[in-house]
């Protein structure tokens, strides 16, 4: 049954999307506001974007965000690839439980993950710094990288491995010459998702970041506590544009993955 036939579905849907996206559109528009007061429009200007790009504190926070996102993406994608290949290669007892554990960060409230991670670092005596942020983001991003890779593996033809074995290729050669090239769309899609999740994360970063580990979300949070300014709007708009770019790339690669 088509849900669109129910009375009131269309206006409710429009209200839902308006509630989600109209504030974002307003933020983008106000980021080009010439007035120092963020909520009063007086004219178009790019001054706040120039101010963002010349602010050393913002550039330092952006550098930290890129370092954390880059390192967490590489580590989580590598671990997710190894996990997906290992899970798909052969069935074993408790495989369903392992799959559930891998997906757990997707359903557990992020605040719970943040507090648990902080307690773990305290228990093992690890000083909070940029390294602890990278470790926490790596663990948190693994499921986001794992799902596209696992979906790609499940879409592969099992006869390819059998054909490689018939041609006297061992498992390592078959993986390097056949499986890995076919997995690249899923790996890239998972890496992009992991990167954008890490770049935008606030809750986990807020709990496990130490001195000198301020990322862009943390900087924005600290800025809005003193009042919303057009500069904050410009930073948020730039992060939104980057997120849209990476999500679009992930969507395109996901369509390639499902072919």
Token pair belonging to 81: 């690839």
In a domain, 19, yes or no: no
Q: Tell me whether residue 21 is in a domain.
A: no
Q: Which of 110-114, 159-163, 180-184 shows the lowest per-residue confidence on average (mean pLDDT)?
A: 159-163
**SS3 track for 152-214:** HHHCCCCHHHHHHHHCCCCHHHHHHHHHHHHHHHHHHHHHHHHHHHHHHCCHHHHHHCCCCCC
d(CA 88, CA 99): 11
CATH number of the domain at 153, please: 1.10.3720.10
φ and ψ at 33, to 5 degrees?
Answer: -75, 135
Confirm whether 94 is domain-assigned.
Answer: yes
Q: Does residue 142 belong to any structural domain of this protein? A: yes
pLDDT at 235: 85
The total domain count for the chain is 1
Let me know if residue 178 belongs to a domain.
yes
Q: Which stretch, 85-89, 166-170, 217-221, 243-247, has highest mean pLDDT?
A: 217-221
Q: What percent of the chain has pLDDT over 90?
A: 20
- As beta bridge partners, residue 44 has 33
The residue with greater pLDDT, 237 or 171, is 237
Least confident piece of the model among 43-52, 86-95, 210-219, 227-236: 86-95
In a domain, 237, yes or no: yes
CA 82 to chain centre: 19
pLDDT at residue number 221 = 86
Q: What is the dihedral of CA 8, 10, 13, 17, to 10 degrees?
A: -140
pLDDT at residue 105 in the model:
78
227 pLDDT more than 90: no
| 259 or 138, higher pLDDT | 138
Whole-Å CA distances, 256 to 82, 84, 90, 146, 182: 21, 18, 25, 16, 11
- Quick check: 107 pLDDT over 70? yes
At which residue do the structure tokens 């989580």 appear? 76
DSSP string, 37-54: STTS---B--HHHHHHHT
pLDDT, one tens digit per residue, over 174-225 is 666 777 777 888 888 889 889 989 988 999 999 998 888 889 889 888 887 7
Does the pLDDT at position 55 exceed 80? yes
* pLDDT score at 76: 93
Reported confidence tier of residue 254, pLDDT bands at 50, 70, 90: low
- Containing domain of residue 189, as a range? 49-257
Instruction: Give pTM, 2 decimals.
Output: 0.81
Place of tokens 């078959």: 174
**148 assigned to some structural domain:** yes
How many Cβ atoms sit within 10 Å of the Cβ of residue 217?
A: 20
Whether the predicted pLDDT of 136 surpasses 90:
yes
Q: What is the mean pLDDT of the chain?
A: 81
């Amino acid at each position: 049954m088509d849900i669109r036939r129910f009375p009131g579905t269309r206006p409710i849907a429009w209200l839902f999307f308006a509630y989600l996206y109209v504030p974002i559109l307003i933020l983008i528009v106000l980021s080009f506001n010439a007035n120092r007061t963020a909520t009063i429009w007086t004219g178009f200007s790019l001054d706040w974007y120039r101010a963002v790009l010349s602010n050393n504190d913002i550039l330092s926070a952006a550098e930290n965000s890129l370092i954390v996102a880059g390192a967490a993406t590489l580590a989580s994608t590598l671990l997710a690839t190894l996990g997906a290949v290992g899970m798909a290669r052969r069935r074993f007892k408790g495989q369903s439980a392992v799959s559930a554990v891998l997906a757990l960060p997707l359903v557990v409230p992020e605040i719970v993950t943040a507090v648990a991670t902080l307690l773990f670092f305290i228990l093992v005596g690890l000083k909070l710094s940029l390294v602890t942020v990278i470790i926490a983001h790596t663990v948190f991003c693994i499921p986001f990288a794992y799902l596209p890779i696992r979906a790609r593996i499940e879409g592969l033809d099992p006869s390819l491995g059998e054909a490689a074995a018939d041609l006297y290729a061992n498992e390592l050669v078959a993986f390097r010459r056949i499986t890995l090239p076919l997995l690249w769309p899923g790996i890239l899609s998972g890496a992009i998702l992991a990167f954008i999740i890490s770049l935008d994360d606030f809750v986990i970063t807020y709990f496990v970041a130490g001195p000198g580990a301020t990322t862009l979300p943390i900087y924005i949070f600290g800025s809005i506590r003193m009042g919303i300014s057009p500069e904050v709007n410009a930073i948020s708009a730039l992060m939104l544009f980057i997120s849209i770019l990476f999500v679009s790339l992930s969507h395109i690669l996901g369509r390639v993955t499902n072919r």
